[in-house]
């Protein structure tokens, strides 16, 4: 039985003092939730502070990216070791905004995911098609290529430590949510890919989140689908009330 997981991707929002306030509010409403896993991913600058605020709770903390090297002359980059050392447990990898604006490729997603595991971090690996690709009937092809690329040369044990987030790019930050049926179809297809690449047991065990304009009022329909194991939430994770609304929809 896959436990549901709701992860908040704060993106480039919240100064450290604002992050401290939001994390404090979340502590009050979601700090002892045990019917689903809760992860919040603030910007790097607030990781330390947020880890401190939620430390005695059920809420876990993740980063939004990492570099695939351990250290060195990589101005502006953050290593897995640095993230782990702050007490974070998860890291988002391959988000479509990284792919679109910052040259993320399936190869760098693969390197980053390997490195995250090496540092004991749980990768949340994002995949998903653009509107152009969907309209051209290429959704399955794109998702297949991205997933195969992310897990290239991975052992089953490594894959089992990861989480996949299916995020159709056309639904991210647009208010245009995928219908539960559209999302379910792709989630089921992702399990088919995993069965082909690895095996059926692994495919059944892998947690697959949906991301893209998930809100309290549409979360239930999505989360009820058999292959949707949670959500990666952008906009609605920036307010304690809406994030909690989605957490409650997992019940």
Give the residue numbers annotated as catalytic, written as ranges.
95, 167
> In this complex, which beta carbon is closest to ligand PGA, that of residue 113 or of residue 213?
213
CB 160 within 8 Å of CB 206: yes
| 100 in contact with ligand PGA (CB under 6 A) | no
Binding residue count for ligand PGA, defined by CB under 6 A = 13
Q: Which of 80, 94, 123, 211 binds ligand PGA (CB under 6 A)?
A: 211
Short-list 170, 223, 166, 161, CA closest to 6: 223
Q: Nearest-CA neighbor of 79 among 115, 42, 52, 104?
A: 115
Distance (Å) of CA 211 to CA 27, 40, 92, 197: 23, 14, 12, 23
E strands in 132-248: 163-166, 207-211, 230-233
Regarding 232 and contact with ligand PGA (CB under 6 A), the answer is yes
Residue 69 carries which DSSP code?
Answer: S
Question: Which one, 49 or 238, has the nearer CB to ligand PGA?
Answer: 238
Binding of ligand PGA by 212 (CB under 6 A): yes
Verify binding: residue 149, ligand PGA, rule CB under 6 A: no
Closest distance of CB 155 from ligand PGA, Å: 27
Structural contact between residues 32 and 2, judged by C-beta atoms closer than 8 angstroms? no
In terms of Cβ atoms closer than 10 Å to its own Cβ (0-12, 13-18, 19+), residue 56 is: exposed
Among 5, 80, 235, 250, binds ligand PGA (CB under 6 A): 235
CA atoms within 13 A of residue 136's CA, in its CB half-sphere: 8
Residue number of the CB atom closest to ligand PGA? 234
Site for ligand PGA in 158-177 (CB under 6 A): 167, 172-173
Instruction: Between 222 and 236, name the residue whose CB sits nearer to ligand PGA.
Output: 236
Distances in Å between the alpha carbon of 102 and those of 62, 65, 143? 20, 11, 19
Phi, psi torsion values for 65, nearest 5 degrees: -175, 170
Asked if 213 touches ligand PGA (CB under 6 A), the answer is: yes
CB of 143 to ligand PGA, least distance (A): 16
Residue 9 found at the interface with ligand PGA (CB under 6 A): yes
Minimum distance from CB of 99 to ligand PGA (Å)? 11
Residue with smaller CB distance to ligand PGA, 98 or 110 = 98
Distance, CA of 38 to CA of 47 (rounded, Å) = 15
The interface region with ligand PGA, picked from 114-122, 143-151, 207-215, 219-227 by CB under 6 A, is: 207-215
Task: Give the footprint of ligand PGA on this chain (CB under 6 A).
Answer: 9, 167, 172-173, 211-214, 232-236
């Amino acid at each position: 039985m896959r436990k549901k997981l709701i992860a908040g991707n704060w993106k480039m929002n919240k100064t450290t003092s604002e992050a401290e306030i939001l994390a404090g509010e979340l502590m009050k409403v979601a700090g002892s939730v045990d019917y689903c896993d809760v992860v919040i991913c603030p910007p790097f600058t607030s990781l330390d502070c947020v880890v401190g605020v939620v430390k005695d709770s059920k809420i876990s903390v993740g980063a939004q990216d990492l570099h695939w090297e351990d250290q060195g002359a990589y101005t502006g980059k953050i290593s897995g070791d640095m993230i782990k050392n702050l007490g974070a447990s998860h890291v988002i990898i391959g988000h479509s905004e990284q792919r679109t604006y910052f040259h993320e490729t399936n190869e760098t997603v693969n390197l980053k995911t390997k490195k995250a595991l090496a540092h004991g971090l749980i990768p949340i690996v994002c995949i998903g098609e653009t509107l152009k690709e969907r309209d051209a009937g290429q959704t399955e092809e794109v998702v297949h290529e991205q997933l195969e690329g992310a897990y290239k040369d991975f052992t089953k044990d490594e894959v089992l430590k990861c989480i996949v987030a299916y995020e159709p790019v056309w639904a991210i930050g647009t208010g245009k949510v995928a219908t539960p049926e559209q999302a379910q179809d792709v989630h089921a297809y992702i399990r088919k890919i995993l069965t082909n690449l690895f095996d059926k047991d692994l495919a059944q065990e892998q947690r697959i989140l949906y991301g893209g304009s998930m809100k309290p009022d549409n979360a239930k329909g999505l989360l009820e689908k058999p292959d949707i194991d949670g959500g990666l939430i952008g906009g609605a994770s920036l307010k304690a009330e809406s994030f909690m609304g989605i957490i409650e929809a997992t019940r």
